[in-house]
Structure 1
Amino acid sequence: MVSGTVLLLLTVLSVCGKAAAERKLVYVTVLFRHGDRSPVKAYPTDPYQENDWPQGFGQLSQEGMRQHFDLGQFLRNRYKGFLNESYDRHEISVRSTDYDRTLMSAEANLAGLYPPSGRQVFNPNLPWQPIPVHTVPQSEERLLSFPLGDCPRYKQLMNETEHTEEFLNVTKTYKDIIDLVRNKTGLNKTNVESVWSVYDTLFCESRHNMSAPDWVTPELMEKLRILKDFGFRVMFGVYKQQDKSRLQGGMLLGEIVKNLSTMADAESKKQLKFMMLSAHDTTVAALQASLNVFNGRQPPYASCQIFELYKDDNGSASVSMFYRNNSKADAYQLQLPGCALDCPLEDFVKITKLSISDDRDKECQLPSEGRDKEVIISLAVSGCLLIFLIALLLGVICWQKEPVSSRGYHHVINREVGEES
């Protein structure tokens, strides 16, 4: 009996091991946030202004460079045996938003991912090699920078979000904090959505050992952190999350799904194995919200969202998602709602389609605009018909009131002479 049980167990383990061996990694997309940086801006009463930072506002710090070099090494170890040991331009493509901090993060990351060896060493004293990072001007970026401000419908959704019970409750709960920040910072206007920028500035200063003003206490920072995270949720969720996703993060999701489908196609001749995207915390949050896996917290520096495409021997494809939000920990797996952890590609495409617009520009138009045009046209046509009917009615009335003599030729008998005239 015992030997039979052992035999059965060994058989199961053998089958599982074989099944696992049959599943082969064929393509990876990674999206990450840039590394540690200086504040994007200072508030009016801030004792630290732009000239207090080595490279000014919004620039990658040396700590940020180290974070991405480490992430590059993590990716090298994770995909050892999948990616070539040396850089091969055919198997990797890198794109970044057109900001110094994201471009430099990508470059630092690639330094960790592809240390030169052999013929790729062009300077024996420099363990680095140049690898291309592609970008487009900020004004043309529609794939990696969210929220995009070119969408009237999204602005309407944000306005409606501010009238939801949850938003009003948070505003009321933290009114004293919001008022305090306005009074202490010299800002003319502060609200739930904008106050997080003050937190960001204070957070950056604290990470770089700059003394905080007396009014900045640990309790205040914790409340500002809560408001900051809520601000991220407001941008991409809280109210009509899927509608927002179709107008924002769904654009990036659509591109990722398209690439996954292309790479899974047995007829595909592409050699590309690895797509690297360097962007921002809002980019990661927008994408995760469109997948309905956003945890509601600001993605930290160098956080990394990973998509892995696998194929098995019978040609079936599946997608596994991972998120690394701690530089001292491994990536953990995310589950797409409604699908298995290792989600069949067919199901992945079907589920995510709800968050991807077929015509975003059309969906961005306000719903009332079309109806308003129809109403105006209908009123104009009705008005013309009414005027025509009134004119016709007046014409009939006038015609009936005309004297008989004016209605055309007729004989008149001259009674005195008895002759026709």
Structure 2
Amino acid sequence: MFLLIGFCSFITATSSNKLLSAVVIHRHGDRNPFTTYKTDPYKDESNWPEGFGQLTKIGIQRQYDLGVWLRNRYDTLLPSRYHPKNVKATSTDVDRTLMSAEVTLAGLFPPSEADKFNENINWQPIPIHTTPPKDDALLAMKKFCKKYQQLFDDLLNSDHVKEINEMNKELYDFLSEKTGENITHVYDVEEIYNTLNTHYLANRTLPQWAWEVYPDNLMMKAAVSLRFKLPCYNRELAHLKTGLLFGEIVKLFQDFVDELWKSPKLLLFSGHDSTLADVLTTMGTFNDEVPSYSSAILLELYQNDGDHYVNILFKNSTGVYNLTLEGCDFNCDFANFTRFFEPIVQPNQTQWEKECENVSFI
């Protein structure tokens, strides 16, 4: 459920309403396409000076603006000077997400005069943690999990998904003819949509046929939406896909509720449209729209006269929206918040790996 709120209506820390901790999960900034199709008029990399899949100048600026926005929002939570005890930044191991994290942090923590190492450079280095994709179960969520793969394959081969593919056959045939590719699944459709969208946002002229399916063709939009919902389509899948990430979030907030004061006040995660879609789907708040460049999910822990509650927001290019979990108001009591995620959370990677190997039920 989305509720639009104005930029001036943010909750601010007061003596009775104090922001204790926050988690920000953002998509990278604008990028060049990373896939092409056989009839693509822009498939030669010379059309994309920064290289395929790389962040553009617009994307860099958009991420910097996000960092400035976060500084304004969390000015009472975070000191103006960077210190590692206050923030931890994690990125997937991809150029565009690493660069996006760097630029976001530049906007969030401009160096004080005391921190400048060069008067001509208004920037300071801040560490970003990352893991190779094949080993990353937390953020890239690409570390192989036998149980997840079996469950996901079962879903893709289910009568429900087969029926959807049959219903989409006319769309698949049209796209196959126009692109020269073999389009047989919603994942194939999303790749074409993604490429067309990247071209459009980069002010490239689209082929005439593209306007029949992009951006407002309902069948294509439904196929793209389904592609983003499938990885966390049910709680079993979400438990193995986003469970470690939500485990980190719940643990962080629990530390502050317990007044341990040993964790960073802010966790910043730099990911992809699929990262945000997986998180939104797990929470039951995905609105069928592909998360736009530099969009962000914010989870915030507050204290009010001894009580603790969580607010969840989604920021994109059109505004900032309140998100509500099932059975929880916007000011979600922390006990209800943890209860909602109890079936999802993975306590640690060792437990996750044990569950991944447990396929005896299949």
TM class by shorter chain equals: 0.7 to 0.9
What's 1:66 paired with?
61
What's 1:263 paired with?
256
* Structure 1 CA distance for aligned equivalents of residues 235 and 249 of structure 2: 17
Task: Tell whether the 8 Å contact from 2:134 to 2:144 is kept in structure 1 after alignment.
Answer: no
What's 1:310 paired with?
302
What's 2:344 paired with?
355
| Structure number with higher strand proportion | 2
Structure 2 letter corresponding to 1:111: A
1:189 deviation in Å?
4.5
Deviations 1:267-317 (A, max 9, x none): x14262111111111111112222222223221111111111122343x32
* Structure 1 CA distance for aligned equivalents of residues 357 and 261 of structure 2: 39
Structure 1 letter corresponding to 2:240: L
Task: Tell whether the 8 Å contact from 1:33 to 1:304 is kept in structure 2 after alignment.
Answer: yes
Task: Tell whether the 8 Å contact from 2:302 to 2:310 is kept in structure 1 after alignment.
Answer: yes
* Structure 2 CA distance for aligned equivalents of residues 136 and 308 of structure 1: 25
TM-score by length of 1: 0.76
**Structure 2 segments unaligned to the other structure (5+ residues):** 1-12
What's 1:97 paired with?
92
Structure 1 letter corresponding to 2:270: S
Structure 1, 161-170 or 192-201: larger mean CA deviation: 161-170
Task: Tell whether the 8 Å contact from 1:253 to 1:290 is kept in structure 2 after alignment.
Answer: no
> Which of 63, 76, 85 is equivalent to 2:80?
85
Distance of aligned partners of 1:222 and 1:140 in 2 relative to their CA distance in 1, 3 Å threshold: same
Distance of aligned partners of 1:356 and 1:39 in 2 relative to their CA distance in 1, 3 Å threshold: same
Structure 2 letter corresponding to 1:248: K
Larger Rg: 1
What's 1:283 paired with?
275
> Which of 207, 230, 234 is equivalent to 2:230?
234
**Structure 1 segments unaligned to the other structure (5+ residues):** 1-18, 372-421
Structure 2 letter corresponding to 1:300: S
Task: Tell whether the 8 Å contact from 1:145 to 1:282 is kept in structure 2 after alignment.
Answer: no
1:163 deviation in Å?
5.0
Deviations 1:100-155 (A, max 9, x none): 00010011111211122221233333322222212122221111114x36233333
* Structure 2 CA distance for aligned equivalents of residues 196 and 279 of structure 1: 18
What's 1:345 paired with?
334
1:230 deviation in Å?
1.8
Task: Tell whether the 8 Å contact from 2:28 to 2:293 is kept in structure 1 after alignment.
Answer: yes
Task: Tell whether the 8 Å contact from 1:305 to 1:323 is kept in structure 2 after alignment.
Answer: yes
Secondary structure at the residue paired with 1:215? Answer: helix
| Structure number with higher helix proportion | 1
1:161 to 2:152 alignment: no
1:324 to 2:334 alignment: no
What's 2:202 paired with?
208
Task: Tell whether the 8 Å contact from 1:177 to 1:220 is kept in structure 2 after alignment.
Answer: no
TM-score by length of 2: 0.87
1:253 to 2:246 alignment: yes
What's 2:26 paired with?
32
1:91 deviation in Å?
0.9
Task: Tell whether the 8 Å contact from 2:301 to 2:310 is kept in structure 1 after alignment.
Answer: yes
Equivalent pairs, count: 344
Task: Tell whether the 8 Å contact from 2:31 to 2:55 is kept in structure 1 after alignment.
Answer: yes
* Structure 2 CA distance for aligned equivalents of residues 163 and 55 of structure 1: 39
* Structure 1 CA distance for aligned equivalents of residues 186 and 343 of structure 2: 29
Structure 1, 125-134 or 167-176: larger mean CA deviation: 167-176
Q: Percent identity?
A: 35
1:194 to 2:185 alignment: no
> Which of 39, 43, 47 is equivalent to 1:45?
39
